[in-house]
Homo-oligomer: A and B are copies of this chain.
């Protein structure tokens, strides 16, 4: 049966990628259908109940700056908020929050249900409608056909999913959900590079059987941080503490004794796991010298006793899981409510994607999330937003958009994926960004919201708040810039309390703020500047911009230099065999990857700066 409505965009999958994709497409006005296996699992967190962290928090703030839902949802569902690296520079500071799973799902579903231009439909997709080699819709398990100008696939760990616990395994999309095998078979028949990856999750524990007195409590920060640029602490549900405990030598001995029955080490799992989110058995083997690893004991919500022991992801046999868990301080009598497991699934080599996240192999088909070889809710959501946006733009005949590496972590993510590919689940780190100083959490809105507004992603309410913020920052900065302090003036005497070296010559408050030792709050107080009209975020922004102006300028200049060729587009029709002087190897690499810009070409391993110069010469000659 043919569904009577033709959609602009059909998003398949209601995880973190799918929900952002559907919301982004619908926000820009595209008639969007979100098709998912089960409406009850919209926005479900497959693994740990937390959002953010270093690198990931940055992504969440960027998604928020572009009008996305993730930060808004966690502000309504977060039960413990912290700023990580709070004592370090602003570039690596990052927000992280524990979530109440039920509240998080509820916030996501409510946002989806209230989004204009967005329709929800519960069915499992089994096939794509392909017309003249282009995606043109989807076919469900029941044979219902839905036509869409563009299709965004975000089916996570479900394609050919196999769940492993010790020597046993069975088919599943994640614990409790069916795998997507019909769709996986179809996609394998099509023109994509398919590989296998794996990821794992720890056993869940019954909190009533834990001895919290044997652990270290870890409360959230005070004052409670927020995630969204529109968020307030008043939106948060009640806050609770996490706890910390550790593995010990006995734990490790039990694990080592069980390794021969581990599917990771027996060869039963072929997929590669996430290096930066390793299982506890991985850690015990790889870091054999360490006799203890930290475990964060995270509540799963306000209304449940279930607990997520972060740090002991495992696919060891269940008897080994039970033994090693009970060897841990505070867990001596622990009851496991759900066994830990690993899951293996199909992913597609992301080098097969354009930077818009459209696949090269099939026009009008976009991929986002775990199926592109990434891991993590935030990475999935970031891709979802870009894929949904570009699917909507393509459906309207508009050019795609994606942020550059120097504009956003989202840009780093996409560029890394499509130019370098990945051989293990990819997750974000601040170290992946070369322009870290520019890509801070605190300025994600300043970097991206104007563009988001232009793209139709940012609604009026957010835009008004943003404009007010920009104006206030300008006003306060201007005021500080115009406030000249004379040496020996009354103000200078008061300011001596915060200055390492006394004032020698006339200086503006803005200049003084640049001194590393000066805190803006104290400065404003002593200089008697009335700052009641500014939010803490605005005041902080003025300080960061002042203090890091020099570094930021230098990074900007470097970007300018690189950008000159970075952005230079390489025509898809370019025949690399005609580029004079290029080695056969480099020719083949470039032909295989088809980079969209010279910058991407430069980041392909094996493509030397010399080769880039040759390419540049070739392009200049051609366009002349």
Beyond A40-B40, A120-B206, 20 extra complex contacts between A and B, CB < 8 Å: A1-B166, A4-B322, A38-B175, A38-B176, A39-B337, A40-B41, A40-B176, A102-B106, A109-B303, A109-B304, A114-B305, A119-B206, A119-B335, A119-B337, A122-B337, A122-B338, A122-B339, A141-B168, A142-B165, A144-B339
Whether B142 contacts A39 by the Cβ 8 Å rule is no
Whether A39 contacts B303 by the Cβ 8 Å rule is no
Q: Which of A169-217 contact B (CB under 8 A)?
A: 170, 172, 175-178, 204, 206, 208
Count class of interface residues, chain A: 35 or more
Binary B-proximity of A341-380 (CB < 8 A = 1, otherwise 0): 0000000000000000000000000000000000000000
Binary B-proximity of A100-114 (CB < 8 A = 1, otherwise 0): 001000100110011
Give the Cβ gap from A515 to chain B, nearest Cβ, in Å.
Answer: 51
30 A–B contacts from the bound complex (CB under 8 Å): A1-B317, A1-B318, A1-B319, A2-B319, A39-B176, A39-B306, A40-B40, A40-B41, A40-B176, A41-B176, A102-B102, A106-B303, A109-B303, A109-B304, A110-B303, A113-B206, A113-B305, A114-B305, A119-B335, A120-B206, A121-B336, A121-B338, A122-B176, A122-B338, A123-B339, A141-B168, A141-B170, A142-B168, A176-B177, A177-B178
Give which listed residue, B2, B142, B208, contacts A339 with CB less than 8 A.
B142
Is there a chain B Cβ closer than 8 Å to A143's Cβ?
yes
For the complex, what is the distance from the CA of A319 to the CA of B5, rounded to whole Å?
A: 12
Is there a chain B Cβ closer than 8 Å to A37's Cβ?
yes
Whether B113 contacts A304 by the Cβ 8 Å rule is yes
Give which listed residue, B114, B142, B339, contacts A318 with CB less than 8 A.
B142
Nearest to A122 among chain B residues (CB) is: B338
Give the Cβ gap from A7 to chain B, nearest Cβ, in Å.
Answer: 12
Q: Contacts A4-B322, A165-B142, A322-B4; is A175 near B102 (CB within 8 Å)? A: no
Nearest to A4 among chain B residues (CB) is: B322
For the complex, what is the distance from the CA of A122 to the CA of B143, rounded to whole Å?
A: 32
6 closest pairs, A vs B, by CB? Answer: A38-B176, A122-B338, A142-B168, A1-B319, A113-B305, A178-B178
For the complex, what is the distance from the CA of A41 to the CA of B177, rounded to whole Å?
A: 11
Whether B176 contacts A120 by the Cβ 8 Å rule is no
Binary B-proximity of A105-142 (CB < 8 A = 1, otherwise 0): 01001100110000111110000000000000000011
When distances are taken between beta carbons in the complex, the residues of chain B under 8 Å from A4 are: 322
Binary B-proximity of A1-39 (CB < 8 A = 1, otherwise 0): 110100000000000000000000000000000000111
Interface of A, helix, strand, loop or mixed by DSSP = mixed
Give the Cβ gap from A388 to chain B, nearest Cβ, in Å.
Answer: 19
For the complex, what is the distance from the CA of A123 to the CA of B338, rounded to whole Å?
A: 7
For the complex, what is the distance from the CA of A539 to the CA of B30, rounded to whole Å?
A: 61
Whether B304 contacts A110 by the Cβ 8 Å rule is yes
Give the Cβ gap from A520 to chain B, nearest Cβ, in Å.
Answer: 41
For the complex, what is the distance from the CA of A1 to the CA of B166, rounded to whole Å?
A: 10
For the complex, what is the distance from the CA of A104 to the CA of B536, rounded to whole Å?
A: 41
Give the Cβ gap from A588 to chain B, nearest Cβ, in Å.
Answer: 45
Give the Cβ gap from A315 to chain B, nearest Cβ, in Å.
Answer: 11
Whether B175 contacts A122 by the Cβ 8 Å rule is yes
Q: Which of A287-322 contact B (CB under 8 A)?
A: 303-306, 317-319, 322
Nearest to A119 among chain B residues (CB) is: B335
Whether B37 contacts A176 by the Cβ 8 Å rule is yes
Nearest to A1 among chain B residues (CB) is: B319
Whether B318 contacts A144 by the Cβ 8 Å rule is yes
Nearest to A172 among chain B residues (CB) is: B178
For the complex, what is the distance from the CA of A119 to the CA of B334, rounded to whole Å?
A: 11
Give the Cβ gap from A486 to chain B, nearest Cβ, in Å.
Answer: 60
For the complex, what is the distance from the CA of A119 to the CA of B338, rounded to whole Å?
A: 11
When distances are taken between beta carbons in the complex, the residues of chain B under 8 Å from A175 are: 38, 122
Binary B-proximity of A211-247 (CB < 8 A = 1, otherwise 0): 0000000000000000000000000000000000000
Binary B-proximity of A131-170 (CB < 8 A = 1, otherwise 0): 0000000000111100000000000000000000110101
For the complex, what is the distance from the CA of A46 to the CA of B109, rounded to whole Å?
A: 19
Whether B170 contacts A142 by the Cβ 8 Å rule is yes
Q: Which of A44, A175, A208 has its CB near the most chain B CB atoms (within 10 A)?
A: A175
Give the Cβ gap from A40 to chain B, nearest Cβ, in Å.
Answer: 6
Nearest to A317 among chain B residues (CB) is: B1
When distances are taken between beta carbons in the complex, the residues of chain B under 8 Å from A204 are: 122
When distances are taken between beta carbons in the complex, the residues of chain B under 8 Å from A44 are: 40
When distances are taken between beta carbons in the complex, the residues of chain B under 8 Å from A106 are: 102, 303
Nearest to A305 among chain B residues (CB) is: B113
For the complex, what is the distance from the CA of A110 to the CA of B166, rounded to whole Å?
A: 31
For the complex, what is the distance from the CA of A175 to the CA of B37, rounded to whole Å?
A: 8
For the complex, what is the distance from the CA of A122 to the CA of B142, rounded to whole Å?
A: 29
For the complex, what is the distance from the CA of A102 to the CA of B110, rounded to whole Å?
A: 13
For the complex, what is the distance from the CA of A591 to the CA of B109, rounded to whole Å?
A: 56
For the complex, what is the distance from the CA of A2 to the CA of B141, rounded to whole Å?
A: 38
For the complex, what is the distance from the CA of A113 to the CA of B113, rounded to whole Å?
A: 30
For the complex, what is the distance from the CA of A304 to the CA of B105, rounded to whole Å?
A: 12
Whether B39 contacts A121 by the Cβ 8 Å rule is no
When distances are taken between beta carbons in the complex, the residues of chain B under 8 Å from A166 are: 1, 142
For the complex, what is the distance from the CA of A318 to the CA of B122, rounded to whole Å?
A: 12
Give the Cβ gap from A1 to chain B, nearest Cβ, in Å.
Answer: 4
Nearest to A124 among chain B residues (CB) is: B170
For the complex, what is the distance from the CA of A178 to the CA of B181, rounded to whole Å?
A: 13
Q: Which of A1, A120, A178, A304 has its CB near the most chain B CB atoms (within 10 A)?
A: A1
When distances are taken between beta carbons in the complex, the residues of chain B under 8 Å from A336 are: 121
